[in-house]
Amino acid sequence: GESVGLHLPTLSVQEGDNSIINCAYSNSASDYFIWYKQESGKGPQFIIDIRSNMDKRQGQRVTVLLNKTVKHLSLQIAATQPGDSAVYFCAESLDGGSYIPTFGRGTSLIVHP
Amino acid sequence: SQTIHQWPATLVQPVGSPLSLECTVEGTSNPNLYWYRQAAGRGLQLLFYSVGIGQISSEVSQNLSASRPQDRQFILSSKKLLLSDSGFYLCAWNLGASRLQETQYFGPGTRLLVL
């Protein structure tokens, strides 16, 4: 589906700080969630995913938290680096569907050296 | 490992001209294939998807069409481009045979400017 919005939300952080990017998803039946990173002029790149039977999953420098009660997903990036500057998208999908995720509107992360 | 290619990377076309964008996937068989469009500063709009050769599902009514002549080839076309067709076109694939294979992987994209 299409994300709607005229301007992307922006998060500005200093290099070395921790970043938290939030996403509110729409369908309470969704049970699979993905975070993508899109650098300028490139295609989205898979970062991390989580299924609804979990509330936390950790990767390298990234952690995804899932709160099904309030339909909220967050991506935490530890010790943010300039190379983390990008647009971050969350996506949701549900069992019994066609495995086509619904993408959120995206958040632009700007890391200042 | 699997890789996905798109070409051209950039294209500038006059209004009313035809369009053909190509996407190919390597290293897998029978993938699901997807075409998305992304306007500047916006999210992803699903245009078409295909679960097999010759099988195309359209998500939006528009000036574009898609075809899948081979298992790992997906083509986005138009007979006459409109100014509103400008954007960043992304191809993606997944296996989609089960819940464990639904993550989509994206190509590098084609930036289309219609003048």
Range of the domain at B89: 3-114
Domains of chain A: 10-112 (2.60.40.10)
Q: Do B108 and A46 touch (CB under 8 A)?
A: no
Query: In chain A, which residue's Cα lies nearest the Cα of B5?
Result: A43
pLDDT, one tens digit per residue, over A63-79 is 999 999 999 999 999 99
Question: What confidence category does residue B99 fall into, taking pLDDT thresholds of 50, 70 and 90?
Answer: low
Q: Is A32 on the interface with B (CB under 8 A)?
A: yes
Q: What pLDDT score does A98 carry?
A: 63
B96-103, Cβ contacts within 8 angstroms, sequence gap of 24 or more: B96/A98, B96/A99, B96/B31, B96/B32, B96/B51, B99/A32, B99/A95, B99/A99, B101/A99, B102/A32, B102/A93, B102/A99, B102/A101, B103/A34, B103/A46, B103/A49
Q: For A105, which DSSP code? A: -
Residue A4 pLDDT > 60, yes or no?
no
Query: What residues in B contact A2, CB-CB < 8 Å?
Result: 42-46
Considering its fold, how many domains does chain B have in total? 1
pLDDT, one tens digit per residue, over B35-90 is 999 987 778 999 999 999 999 999 887 789 999 999 999 999 999 999 999 999 99
Q: What is the CATH number of the domain that holds B50?
A: 2.60.40.10
